[in-house]
Structure 1
């Protein structure tokens, strides 16, 4: 596999000491995306010669705090925590759209709670990870229904805490993603999805962000990374995996999902292609606009104290542009 990846990517074969000299800590979450199969395959390490330390976090806010501490160089975060990080001056760059959230995040009300529409949430207890894309969508949904935060009780919980609170009956509703979403839906009712709100102008996404200085010194690694992610996404799009696929087993193992639930979870997202990444629809324009609008929302909610003068500074197409110029690996290169 290493020889094939080296041949297809056009990279020099890593020497014996390469992995020891080149290391990166990559913060990921539990979103059910094709990238998890790539993580499990070891293809990134083989193609680059880097030692990759994969660290799982409970939410984008935790990822951003780890990056701010200097202990993480690359991380997965939603558009809301990325906007918050940029507003706080963290020197990061968004270089890849991991997914368009679409219907992968949903507001679910407990069966028997009497909630069938957002307006019914008045006086109810709702759990959501604060400063996440789901939090942003929840507040937007409440505002759209004429409710303010004082009209409901919102609890800040990480996904595993939400699952436990739901099972105990402590909360009436949650705005969350898989694998927790799949656990709460059988005993709840979907009230609204992120996709519904996106169609009304409140789009959200998950992206990969990198420390700017580290990116400048390790550009080849990032280019190889996005080539491999693009190839994995393309392989999935060409032939979506069934529950028995080895890729599904890898996704389930990393995310904590049940294998039987993974295919439906994957289908809820949209994965922009390598060609689409740098277009005006994503890194070439809309991503900076989304960060700008999200940051303004966060400031209005008191989650950030000030706004950055230009959110476009925190978005780059350079890595994707470089990846498009070179050969892209096929599934056999993994």
Structure 2
């Protein structure tokens, strides 16, 4: 990489920010209201580089309070309390939130999880296939996409939750439990996934289960009332995320790229781990976001199916009448124009 590379990227981001600012319509949030608390997690996605760049703050004039959470369930609880306006959550906690009537909208597919979440068994545990988990101890963040996939994987081979011991742990807690030898297996994502794989064996991935009809994704959700008052911010947000994803897709970052350093700092990964972690996900383009596969119908279908599964497992008490109400392509459509 030449020394001019970072300068060119800074100029490009500044130009894009100026373009977005110029496109903002009258009626944007008043200056006094231009602040937001944004809950994120540790998934290794290109968006992390955008977060660190400050481009979103420059393009919108908003003060953004970035708050890191250990799982989607924690994010949803913070949104329910009113302390967070926008958050990252997987399809499972989003489905649970919608089932409970939380007034949120999914407005961006952050990633299709694909092979970015995997069930890993400790070397020496005797586990080489899902059926071998009977009587074993497994750690997973409850109500996460990984939890949903774990239960689905067990069900495929005729195992129920009474047949295994499932511990509710956040990713950092899983890493510590793995090091202590307290658990036999875990279903988790990077950066912890990369570490447990060094002394474990992958049994099944979210991608394997998705190909058998159990698709999962991570998305951005927003408080509906806040969204109605801050439309321009959300349009700018999806525009910039799409540009960051496209830049990575056009030229995937090497371990020495400044964007990788930013991703590593926010997620707790090492720069050496980041390129492979990014490659395990799929990131829908701006055009794909609004398609029938995602915000145009597929996401609502996935939430409906996930919610039904969660109810069958006793994780939610009732189902929403219509999960499409919790999905919108409005901001993506505006960004495409």
The Cα offsets for residues 215-249 of structure 1, whole Å up to 9 and x where unpaired, read as 00000000000000000000000000000000000
Q: Which secondary structure state, in structure 1, belongs to the residue aligned with residue 215 of structure 2?
A: coil
Q: Which secondary structure state, in structure 2, belongs to the residue aligned with residue 52 of structure 1?
A: strand
Decide whether aligned partners of structure 1 residues 6 and 245 sit closer, same or farther in structure 2, where only a CA change above 3 A counts. same
Distance between the aligned counterparts of 1:68 and 1:132, measured in 2? 17
Instruction: Work out whether residues 28 and 231 of structure 2, in 8 Å CA contact, stay in contact via their aligned partners in 1.
Output: no
Give the drift of 1:146: 1.4
Instruction: Work out whether residues 79 and 85 of structure 2, in 8 Å CA contact, stay in contact via their aligned partners in 1.
Output: yes
Instruction: Work out whether residues 44 and 274 of structure 2, in 8 Å CA contact, stay in contact via their aligned partners in 1.
Output: yes
Structure 1: unaligned runs, 5 residues or longer:
326-334
Instruction: Work out whether residues 21 and 60 of structure 2, in 8 Å CA contact, stay in contact via their aligned partners in 1.
Output: no
Give the drift of 1:10: 2.5
Instruction: Work out whether residues 178 and 265 of structure 1, in 8 Å CA contact, stay in contact via their aligned partners in 2.
Output: yes
Decide whether aligned partners of structure 1 residues 170 and 49 sit closer, same or farther in structure 2, where only a CA change above 3 A counts. same
Instruction: Work out whether residues 24 and 232 of structure 2, in 8 Å CA contact, stay in contact via their aligned partners in 1.
Output: no
Distance between the aligned counterparts of 2:28 and 2:292, measured in 1? 42
The Cα offsets for residues 164-195 of structure 1, whole Å up to 9 and x where unpaired, read as 00000000000000000011000000000000
Distance between the aligned counterparts of 2:207 and 2:20, measured in 1? 36
Matched, 1:267 2:279: yes
Q: Which residue of 2 aligns with 1:253?
A: 265
Instruction: Work out whether residues 18 and 49 of structure 1, in 8 Å CA contact, stay in contact via their aligned partners in 2.
Output: no
Q: Which secondary structure state, in structure 2, belongs to the residue aligned with residue 131 of structure 1?
A: coil
Instruction: Work out whether residues 110 and 217 of structure 2, in 8 Å CA contact, stay in contact via their aligned partners in 1.
Output: yes
Instruction: Work out whether residues 72 and 90 of structure 2, in 8 Å CA contact, stay in contact via their aligned partners in 1.
Output: yes
Instruction: Work out whether residues 109 and 173 of structure 1, in 8 Å CA contact, stay in contact via their aligned partners in 2.
Output: yes
Give the drift of 1:5: 1.5
Give the number of equivalent residue pairs.
325
Q: Which secondary structure state, in structure 1, belongs to the residue aligned with residue 187 of structure 2?
A: strand
Instruction: Work out whether residues 27 and 55 of structure 1, in 8 Å CA contact, stay in contact via their aligned partners in 2.
Output: yes
Instruction: Work out whether residues 28 and 229 of structure 2, in 8 Å CA contact, stay in contact via their aligned partners in 1.
Output: no
Q: Which secondary structure state, in structure 2, belongs to the residue aligned with residue 210 of structure 1?
A: strand
Give the drift of 1:12: 6.1
Distance between the aligned counterparts of 1:35 and 1:132, measured in 2? 20
Worse-matched range after superposition: 215-224 or 16-25: 16-25
The TM-score with structure 1 as length reference comes to 0.94
The Cα offsets for residues 278-334 of structure 1, whole Å up to 9 and x where unpaired, read as 100001011000000100111111111100000000000111100100xxxxxxxxx
Distance between the aligned counterparts of 1:15 and 1:212, measured in 2? 17
Q: Which secondary structure state, in structure 1, belongs to the residue aligned with residue 125 of structure 2?
A: coil
Distance between the aligned counterparts of 1:41 and 1:308, measured in 2? 38
Worse-matched range after superposition: 47-56 or 1-10: 1-10
The TM-score with structure 2 as length reference comes to 0.94
Instruction: Work out whether residues 23 and 52 of structure 1, in 8 Å CA contact, stay in contact via their aligned partners in 2.
Output: yes
Decide whether aligned partners of structure 1 residues 33 and 14 sit closer, same or farther in structure 2, where only a CA change above 3 A counts. farther
Matched, 1:36 2:51: no
Decide whether aligned partners of structure 1 residues 225 and 79 sit closer, same or farther in structure 2, where only a CA change above 3 A counts. same
Q: Which secondary structure state, in structure 1, belongs to the residue aligned with residue 321 of structure 2?
A: coil
The Cα offsets for residues 138-158 of structure 1, whole Å up to 9 and x where unpaired, read as 000001111111110000000
Distance between the aligned counterparts of 2:74 and 2:228, measured in 1? 24
Give the drift of 1:11: 3.8
Distance between the aligned counterparts of 2:60 and 2:137, measured in 1? 47
Matched, 1:321 2:308: no
Instruction: Work out whether residues 41 and 88 of structure 2, in 8 Å CA contact, stay in contact via their aligned partners in 1.
Output: yes
Matched, 1:107 2:81: no
Instruction: Work out whether residues 6 and 13 of structure 1, in 8 Å CA contact, stay in contact via their aligned partners in 2.
Output: no
Q: Which secondary structure state, in structure 1, belongs to the residue aligned with residue 328 of structure 2?
A: coil
Decide whether aligned partners of structure 1 residues 16 and 87 sit closer, same or farther in structure 2, where only a CA change above 3 A counts. closer
Structure 2: unaligned runs, 5 residues or longer:
1-12
Instruction: Work out whether residues 108 and 190 of structure 1, in 8 Å CA contact, stay in contact via their aligned partners in 2.
Output: yes
Give the drift of 1:50: 0.3
Q: CA RMSD in A?
A: 1.9
Instruction: Work out whether residues 15 and 49 of structure 1, in 8 Å CA contact, stay in contact via their aligned partners in 2.
Output: no
Q: Which residue of 2 aligns with 1:222?
A: 234
Give the drift of 1:6: 1.4
